[in-house]
Amino acid sequence: MRARTRTARRRVVVLAAVASLGAGLLAGCADDGKDDNGGSSSGGGGGKTKITLGLFGTAGFEESGLYKEYEKLHPDIDIQQTVVERNENYYPALLNHLTTNSGLQDIQMVEVGNIAEIVQTQSDKLLDLSKYGKESDYLDWKWKQATTSGGQTIGVGTDVGPMAICYRTDLFKAAGLPTDREEVGKLWAGSWDKFVDVGKTYQKKAKGTTFLDSPGGLLQAILSSETERFYDSSGKVIYKTNPAVKSAFDLTADAAEAGLIGNQTQFQPAWDTTIANSKFAAMSCPPWMLGYIKGKSKADAAGKWDIAQAPKSGNWGGSFLTVPKSGKNTEEAAKLAAWLTAPEQQAKLFAVQGSFPSTPAAYDSAAVKNAKNDMTGDAPIGTIFAEAAKNIPVQTIGPKDQIIQQGLTDNGVVLVTQGKSAKEAWDNAVKTIDNNLDQ
């Protein structure tokens, strides 16, 4: 599940989402034989135990046939799902239902950007899944993200978003840069400063294109490779005093001032147009981004992309499955959550959906090792992303990470592409973030 949420939108939007989607989630519960507290009731159609899931985006469980497979293995189980398209609409309602401990589905998905808040404020409402999912199956850093200080693991990981760099071989060649993925990766290995230097080399010969797509993409990639970003291990907000954050901001601003980055905000229509019209040569690229590129590109772009390791490994995306204690069938729900996220199922999901497994055992499966993508031709994408995933640092995540990240990008570094100085952009970002944190 990709992470591109905008949970720091205006407070009124959040409150409206809670109001409207609360009704939506409860309606799903009512249709599925839920009790007043959102717990599922047995004795549904044909005497089966009904297990409901609350999801956002396209998790792919139904599309990949996993529900049917589980129901075949367990004929007494009937699986139903309620899906909200975007996490910024889904999560406020989920948080509201957890706070009131009502209206919850048997299994609720939580996006990685929200897991810290859930761990810190709602863990008492959720089942400890450590006796259902095997810790050794999951990437160490992924398991820890959903584990409380007391050792309770309230979520099992569905997928991760290991970061690589997708680049256009035709545009690199025209700019006099190597196109072989191993050689390209060596150009910037171990250093984001080297990465920006490659961009400056590219820009000298570029015609009508920029090296990178957006300031937000670069900043996201750099910060995702840091162990400590916006919070320290004690939970204190440190983004203003953490030199790693300021350094990442300044490096991105430097790239913007040098004209290496397009002046777009990611996932907006104008940004989509730059993909379709081949207006940039490279971008930060977790696995799910390949599907986005394919969806927004013209047909003649297929095979012109390749993928190389990023300067440093980072994560962008991923989700968890949690089981609220208020359900009547928590045992069955926990077993289903563990099964859906086991290595065998994650490999199947990757083959159909492109969601990259959070379970290293899946990396040896044919589905991952032999994976290809239309946009990147014969590039061994599974092997490349697996290598990145294994090197992602255990990152300190705070409850308001998304608010801070968005402030630094949408209200900060993007302004440098619009003529503001790096200092003006930073000051504006800090003001916006602090105002949102105070609400």
- At residue 30, the pLDDT reads 31
**CA dist., res. 395 & res. 315, Å (int):** 9
Bigger pLDDT: 2 vs 203: 203
pLDDT of 9 above 90? no
The whole-model pTM stands at 0.84
pLDDT of 16 above 70? no
**CA dist., res. 181 & res. 193, Å (int):** 19
Specify the DSSP class assigned to residue 48.
Answer: P
pLDDT tens digits for range 275-295? 999 999 999 999 999 989 999
- At residue 10, the pLDDT reads 29
pLDDT band at 352 (very low <50, low <70, confident <90, very high): confident
213-242: average pLDDT: 96
Residue type, 149: S
Q: Are strands 210-212 and 280-285 parallel, antiparallel or unpaired?
A: parallel
Q: Bridge partners of 148?
A: none
Of 405, 373, 325, nearest to 98 (Cα)?
325
Residue 111: CB partners within 8 Å, gap ≥ 6?
Answer: 1, 3, 5, 56, 87, 91, 318, 319
251-265: average pLDDT: 96
Q: What is the per-residue DSSP string for 79-114?
A: EEEEEES-HHHHHHHHHHHHHHT-S--SEEEEEHHH
pLDDT of 198 above 50? yes
The tokens 């159609």 sit on which residue?
45
406-426: average pLDDT: 96
Q: List, as own/partner pairs, every contact residues 170-173 make where C-beta atoms lie below 8 angstroms and the sequence separation is at least 24, other chains included.
A: 170/304, 171/202, 171/206, 171/209, 171/278, 171/281, 172/202, 172/281, 172/282
189-206: average pLDDT: 97
Structure tokens at 47: 């005497």
**CA dist., res. 260 & res. 280, Å (int):** 9
Structure tokens at 362: 């899946």
362-374: average pLDDT: 93
pLDDT of 27 above 80? no
Specify the DSSP class assigned to residue 359.
Answer: -
pLDDT of 346 above 50? yes
pLDDT of 124 above 80? yes
- At residue 376, the pLDDT reads 95
pLDDT of 55 above 50? yes
Q: What percent of the chain has pLDDT above 90?
A: 83
**CA dist., res. 400 & res. 387, Å (int):** 29
- At residue 47, the pLDDT reads 85
- Angstrom distances, CA of residue 92 to CA of 22, 35, 231, 361, 368: 9, 22, 22, 34, 34
Of 334, 4, 53, nearest to 161 (Cα)?
4
144-164: average pLDDT: 96
pLDDT of 40 above 60? no
323-327: average pLDDT: 96
User: How big is the chain, counted in residues?
Assistant: 439
Sign of the four-CA dihedral 183, 188, 194, 196? positive
From 142-151, 254-263, 346-355, the region with the lowest mean pLDDT = 346-355
pLDDT of 60 above 50? yes
Structure tokens at 327: 């359900």
- At residue 233, the pLDDT reads 87
- Angstrom distances, CA of residue 254 to CA of 188, 192, 206, 433: 17, 12, 18, 22
pLDDT of 134 above 90? yes
Q: What percent of the chain has pLDDT above 70?
A: 90
Bigger pLDDT: 22 vs 85: 85
Structure tokens at 137: 């199956």
Of 427, 398, 422, 405, nearest to 216 (Cα)?
405
pLDDT tens digits for range 86-103? 898 999 999 999 999 999
Per-position b or e across 105-135, b if 16+ CB within 10 A of its CB: bbbbbbbbbbbbbbbeebbebbbbbbebbee
pLDDT of 214 above 80? yes
